[in-house]
Chain A
Amino acid sequence: MQKKPTTLLALDIISIILLGVSTYLALIFAPTEAVMGQVQRVFYFHVATAWVGMLGFIAAGISGIAYLRSGDLKWDRVEMAAVEISLVFFFIAIVLGAIWARPVWNTWWTWDPRLTTAAITELIYIAYFMLRQGIEDPDRRARFGAVYTLIGAVSVPITFMAIRLFRTIHPVVIGTESAEAQGGFNMTSDMKVAFFFALFAFTVIFVDLFWNRIRMGTLADKVEQLKLKVMQ
């Protein structure tokens, strides 16, 4: 792999700047929320990282189908990158969700449909990597990865709907008041600025990380091929 293309370098720099600005907006520019205090600021990154997780999830599903239809291993590299990034960012989102929940609802975990589904998705991702680990042949590894990605991609939305249905019939009452009453807050316009900017910044960060990670995957495949050739 030769030098990084200048576009990518530029994207790296832009991503870092956007992250900085977004942090400023979330920590300083946005007003302090009246009921929850400073911890509410965690919300901006919580949603933004979950959003990146979602982007990765969708990208993985699409790449899986693309690989099965074309047999081109480049889609396998894209899929792995997408799953890895989604795994990392959903993890951050889940932890931030717990940190937010603790002072607000006096519990670390609320079995909220979105967070629970994210946690199940993490388990699917881990299973995905374990599956790939156990297969030697690169073509079979890619095929099985794509099939499992497809199964996961279809099952996760169904899981979300099932849990949501479960919760509407049996709302979990947390503490003394219902979760809805305590957790909600209205966003002022300043908060909205921070919120939407975070989404935008993290989308750019996702593209940057994605591109970087795919490049690394391509390099890894080249090394594998060269290794086979040299070791003959």
Chain B
Amino acid sequence: MFFLETPPDTSQYMVAGYAIAFGVMLIYIVSIFIRSRNLNRDMSMLEEMDKDK
């Protein structure tokens, strides 16, 4: 009552937390994207080879 207690400054941890959350999600989404793109490339290449047979 004599003085206002401010909550401790833990914002560094908050930033780290959100950075990791977004970072990992982003990495995962990008990995799906890259893997799909590689698969599509393989697919068209294989279809070419199949046509040639």
Contact = CB atoms under 8 A, between A and B. Distances in A.
Main secondary structure of the interface of A (DSSP, over half): helix
A226 B39 CA distance: 12
A40 B13 CA distance: 9
Contacts, number: 100
Contact of A96 (B8, B20, B29, B36): B20
A220 interface: yes
B53 A32 contact: no
Contact of B20 (A1, A99, A212): A99
Main secondary structure of the interface of B (DSSP, over half): helix
Interface string A28-59: 00001111111111100110010000000000
A35 B9 CA distance: 10
B51 to A, nearest CB: 10
Contacts of B14: 27, 38-39, 41-42
B17 A96 contact: yes
The 8 closest A-B pairs by CB, nearest first: A39-B10, A42-B17, A37-B10, A37-B7, A38-B11, A39-B13, A38-B14, A99-B17
